[in-house]
Chains A and B, each alone.
Chain A
Amino acid sequence: MYKIAVMGDYDSIYGFASLGLTTFPVETGTDPEEAAKKLHSIAESGYGVIYMTESLAALLEKEIARYADKLMPAVILIPGVRGNTGAGVAHVKKSVEQAVGSDILFSDNN
């Protein structure tokens, strides 16, 4: 039995609390190290999926990569209230690139 976490700035994520997901507000301008610590502590305390806003994920690229090859937790990027930065789509493209060698699927529609 696992739980689902949502990380990001308060304005982007407060709605998820009503669905029953656990929200962890990390305000913009927080020290990346502190945010990383928070991410690791969440990852170790029984959360199977961590949704993270794209703007926060931009600060934590390296930390997120640590969980890329583990089965748990899945760190999934979602757009924040300030709009879509395209980081989520970029992540998908990156995994295509990793597998195939070059982005042969989505290179034409950006």
Chain B
Amino acid sequence: MASTQVTPTRMELTRLKRKLVTAVKGHRLLKDKRDELMRQFLDLVREDMELRQKVEQGIKSANRNFVLAKAGMSEETLRAALMAPKQEVILKQDKKNVMSVDIPVFDYETRTADENDIYSYGFAFTSSDLDGAVKSLSDVFPDMLKLAEIEKSCQLMAAEIEKTRRRVNALEHVIIPETQEGIRYITMKLDENERSTQVRLMKVKDMMLEEAHRYSEK
């Protein structure tokens, strides 16, 4: 893997050695991070799936109730009944840091404390089915909010896991082997240089002795 040009100097060797130490340390840390994130993600995603199925079931039955309610009264009455809601939901968002991933924590507050304020209409002109429908939807709402929180966390964590996995792989399969290769190349080159200096010195010594004593003429 001599794709990257390395200059065979002692300075470069020290630099590469230092780089290798950092890379190995980083690799170990990132691997730990990936494993821990994965563990938490798997728990969370299982919860997410369960909650989603529950919420979808809840919304489905609420929708069925609404269709029934709609059948029992005219379209105009229905629209008028739900036109001006009394209740308002205020969402409070906080964030939690899990392995350097910010995940949201949702909490909500309703404008009025009275839970009967979800019925924004008089009972004279609407069918009782509508009350039931609104109630069933309001029952499923806390779960919906929890689902939002968990599902968003899952998405964010999945993105972070993917990123971390890429980094771990890049370090493990590219950066670390390349650096090791570089270190090997420089060590060999330096050794080679040293040997060649040695040989040159021996040769020079031979020549000087020859000059002084004239061995070959004797």
Which listed residue, B93, B118, B137, B144, touches A72 by the CB 8 Å rule? B93
Inter-chain contacts of B187 with A (CB < 8 A): none
Interface size on B, residues (CB 8 A): 60
Provide the bound-state CA to CA distance between A19 and B136, in Å: 11
Determine whether the beta carbon of B45 is less than 8 Å from that of A92: yes
Contact call B87/A19, Cβ cutoff below 8 A: yes
A84 touches B42 (CB 8 A): no
Give the contact-size bracket for chain A: 35 or more
Whether A49 and B45, one on each chain, are in contact in the complex, defined by CB atoms closer than 8 angstroms, is no
Complex contact A15–B134 (CB within 8 A): yes
Contact: B157 with A99, CB < 8 Å?
A: yes
Q: Which one, A48, A78, A84, A91, contacts B144 given CB within 8 A?
A: A78
Shortest Cβ distance from B84 into A: residue: A17
Q: Are B137 and A19 in contact (CB under 8 A)?
A: yes
Question: What sequence of 0s and 1s flags, for each residue 65-83 of chain A, a beta carbon within 8 Å of any chain B beta carbon?
Answer: 0001101101010111101
Which residue in B56, B119, B134 is a CB contact (below 8 Å) of A78? Answer: B56
Which segment of B15-23, B62-70, B208-216 sits at the interface?
B62-70
Task: Tell me whether A81 and B49 are in contact (CB under 8 A).
Answer: no
Interface pair B90/A3, CB less than 8 Å apart: yes
Q: Known contacts A74-B104, A79-B59, A99-B41; is A2 also within 8 Å of B111 by CB?
A: no
Q: Which positions 101-149 of chain B face chain A at CB distance < 8 Å?
A: 102, 104, 106, 108, 110-111, 118-120, 133-134, 137-138, 141, 144-145, 147-149
Q: In whole Å, how far is B165's beta carbon from the nearest beta carbon of chain A?
A: 8
Q: Which residues of A contact B (CB under 8 A)?
A: 1-4, 12, 14-21, 48-49, 51, 68-69, 71-72, 74, 76, 78-81, 83-84, 88-89, 91-92, 95-96, 98-101, 105-106
Q: Can you list 6 A-B pairs, Cβ within 8 angstroms, ordered by A?
A: A48-B93, A69-B156, A78-B55, A99-B38, A99-B161, A105-B49
